[in-house]
Structure 1
Amino acid sequence: MARFFAEAVMVLHFAVLAFLLVGGFLAWRWRGVIYAHLVIGAWAILSLLMPVTCPLTTAEEYFRAQAGMPSLGTGFIDHYIDGVWFPESASTLVQLVLGSIVIVSWIGFYAGTRAARRLSHG
C-alpha cells in the first residue's frame, strides 16, 4: 500500500507542475483559478530562491521508505526531470522559458481582467 501512495504522490506532484505551467492560462477562462495559481507560483519561486523542501517530496520520500523503495536522492525535480527530459546543463534555460510562460499567462490574465472591467463599466 505504501508503494501505491508513493506513486500517487508522484502523480500529484507532476499534476502540480503541469498546473504551474498552464494554470495562469486556465485563469483566463475561470478567473478564480488565479488564486491557486499564484500560491503555486509563489511556492515555485520560493523553492528556487531558498533551500526549502517541498511537502510533496517529503510525502513521497516517506512512502518510498515505507515501501522499501530507494530514496529520490536530491529531490523530485532532479530525480524525475533534470537530466531525464532535458540535459542537466539546460536547467537554467528551461527554468527561464517555463517562468516566462507563466509570466505571459499572468500578463494575459491581467489584460483580460482590465478589458472585462472596461466593458462592464461601459
Structure 2
Amino acid sequence: MIFRVLAEATMVAHFLFIAFVVLGGFVAWRWPKAIWWHLAAAAWGLCIVVFELNCPLTYVEDWARDRAGQSGLSRGFIDTYLTGVMYPERYLNEVRLLIAAVVVFSYAGLAHRWRRRAPRQEAPRQEG
C-alpha cells in the first residue's frame, strides 16, 4: 500500500514539476527569486528533451510501482501520461515549440517588469 501511494505521489510531483517548467517564469513575476529555481528546472527539462534522458522521478515511480506489484512505465513519463493523451503524438514538436514560446514570453515579461521597477538615477542637478 505504501509503495502505491509513493508511486501516485511521485506521479503528482512529476506533473507539478512539468507545470513549473512551463509556467515557472510567470511565478517569478510575483516572486522574483523563483527565477533561479525556474532556470534550473527549465534547463533540466531541456536536457531531458534534447538528450532524451529519463527524469529521476520516473525511476522513483517505476521502482515504487514495481514494489507495489504494478507494472512500471513502459515508456517515459511524458510519453505515458501526456503524449497521445493530452495532445496527439503527431503534434509533439508543435507542443514543444509552444512550451518554449511560453517560457520565452514569461522571461521577456519578467525582464520588462524588472526594467520598470529598477530605480532610475536622475542626472545630477547643476546649481547656478
What TM-score bracket applies, with the shorter chain setting the length? over 0.9
| TM-fit CA distance, 1:14 | 0.4
- Residue 126 of structure 2 corresponds to which residue in structure 1? none
Q: Which residue of 1 aligns with 2:80?
A: 79
Identity percentage of aligned residues:
38
- Quote how far apart the aligned CAs of 1:121 are: 3.7
Secondary structure of the residue that 1:28 maps to in structure 2? helix
CA distance in 1, matches of 2:97, 2:52: 19
Q: Which has the larger radius of gyration?
A: 2
Q: Equivalent residue for 1:69? A: 70
User: Following the alignment from structure 1 to structure 2, what is the Cα–Cα distance between the partners of residues 121 and 31?
Assistant: 22
With normalisation by structure 1, the TM-score equals 0.94
Q: Which runs of 5+ in 1 are unaligned?
A: none
How many angstroms does 1:120 deviate by? 5.1
Query: Match of 2:115?
Result: 114
1:39-78 map, 5 Å: 39-78=40-79
Q: Residue 105 of structure 1 corresponds to which residue in structure 2?
A: 106
Q: Distance in 2 between matches of 1:85 and 1:53?
A: 20
Letter in 2 for 1:60: E
| Between structures 1 and 2, the one with greater helix share | 1
Distance 2:45 2:38 in 1: 10
What amino acid is the match of 2:99? L
Task: State the alpha-carbon separation in 2 of the partners of residues 82 and 111 from structure 1.
Answer: 33
Aligned length: 121
Structure 2: where are the runs of 5+ without partners?
A: 123-128
Q: Which runs of 4+ in 1 moved over 3 A?
A: 119-122
The alignment's C-alpha RMSD in Å is 1.1
Corresponding residue for residue 31 of structure 1: 32
Q: Normalized against structure 2, the TM-score is what?
A: 0.90
